[in-house]
Amino acid sequence: MTLTDYLYYIILPILAFSVLLIVYRFIKGPSIADKIIALDVLITTGIGIIGVYSIIHGRSTFLDTAMILALIAFLSTVAFSYYLEKRNRKK
Amino acid sequence: MSSVIIVILVTLGTLFVLLSAIGLVRMPDTYMRISVNTKAATLGVGLILVGTAVFFNDLSATSRSLVIILFVFLTAPVSAHLIGRASYFMGVKLWKGSVIDDLRGKYQRNSHVLKSEIDDTPGNNIDHTKNDDIIK
């Protein structure tokens, strides 16, 4: 079993299963904070999946996409929490 | 030899990501979910990216993946702190089995100022054992 087969048939299904679990929490989540956490972890898992794909295909340009995803995850979490905190603040 | 190292790193990282997803589903409380995810998912993705850095073994790809690791490790605690603070202000309750709430009565409800001890204006403080204004 080569490295590509191992990554393709064992690692990627485990990562896909964890994405399914995170999406379950994203849909169910009791408060909106749970949904934001689930979104953050979803993008973080996406960075991991992009890393595994870049090993499988042998192309390092996929890592640029992972970098942009990391930036967007941080920015979206900060913006969401800023506005959630600001929503019920009175002068 | 290098493929053995890659297999070990990627497998460990995948196990950490899977454990963090299970923790996200199983934990009873928003704050525990924040705690489990900001540690386990970050460590898992960091291990996977170290695996890619070992695989490519040239300067441009390795520095790129190390920059991603540095960025994820720097920003995960900041975003976890911000979302935890916002959910405490929103009135997300702690789990009923939680033993202690160190912030009880120390945040001002309107000005969001953190006091170091419980002062004499208890109506203005955020107290999750009393207040009913839960905002969904």
Buried b (16+ CB within 10 A) or exposed e, B46-80: bbbbbbbbbbbeeeebbebbeebbebbeebbeebb
Partner residue facing A40 (CB), from B48, B79, B87:
B79
The interface predicted TM-score (ipTM) is 0.90
Read off the pLDDT of residues B48-100 as tens digits, 9 standing for 90 and up: 999 999 999 899 999 999 999 999 999 999 999 999 888 888 878 788 877 88
Chain A within 8 Å of B18 (Cβ-Cβ)?
Answer: yes
| Alpha-helical segments (H) within B1-136 | 2-26, 30-56, 59-90
Chain A within 8 Å of B71 (Cβ-Cβ)?
Answer: yes
- Chain B residues with beta carbon closer than 8 angstroms to that of A22: 21, 24
Q: Residue B98 is encoded by which pair of tokens?
A: 């939680």
The structure's pTM equals 0.87
Judging by beta carbons within 10 Å of its beta carbon (0-12, 13-18, 19+), is residue B108 exposed, middle or buried?
middle
Q: pLDDT at position A90, please?
A: 56
| Domain segments of chain A as ranges | 3-85
Distance from C-alpha of B44 to C-alpha of B11, rounded to nearest angstrom: 9
A75 pLDDT above the threshold of 50: yes
**pLDDT mean over A40-57:** 93
